[in-house]
Amino acid sequence: MNARGALGRYGEDLAARLLTDAGMAVIERNWRCRAGEVDIVARDGDALVFCEVKTRRSDGFEHPMAAVTPVKAERLRRLAEIWL
């Protein structure tokens, strides 16, 4: 695994742990289909949570939503529909 892949895996592991610590149940990781991949699917009570994890190397702060473009948000919605 290259450094970028290792960083991404670290971020996904950390995100899964934070979701679990918050009381959610992680039910799927790195789910793939022809349309793409969902990093984490978790259950929060009666709700399903579909997560796209972005891990950065920079020390600078940028709001996490800045990494989610409308195209990426639509792709995640489409993947959630397929998963369901």
How many Å apart are CA 9 and CA 39, to the nearest integer?
10
Q: Which domains does the chain show, CATH number per domain? A: 3-83 (3.40.1350.10)
pTM here is: 0.85
Is pLDDT at 11 greater than 80 in this prediction?
A: yes
Instruction: Give the whole-number percent of the chain exceeding pLDDT 90.
Output: 68
H or E stretch covering 8: helix 3-21
Q: Which residues contact 12 (CB under 8 A, 6 or more apart)?
A: 29, 30, 39, 40, 53, 55
Is the pLDDT assigned to residue 58 strictly greater than 80?
Answer: no
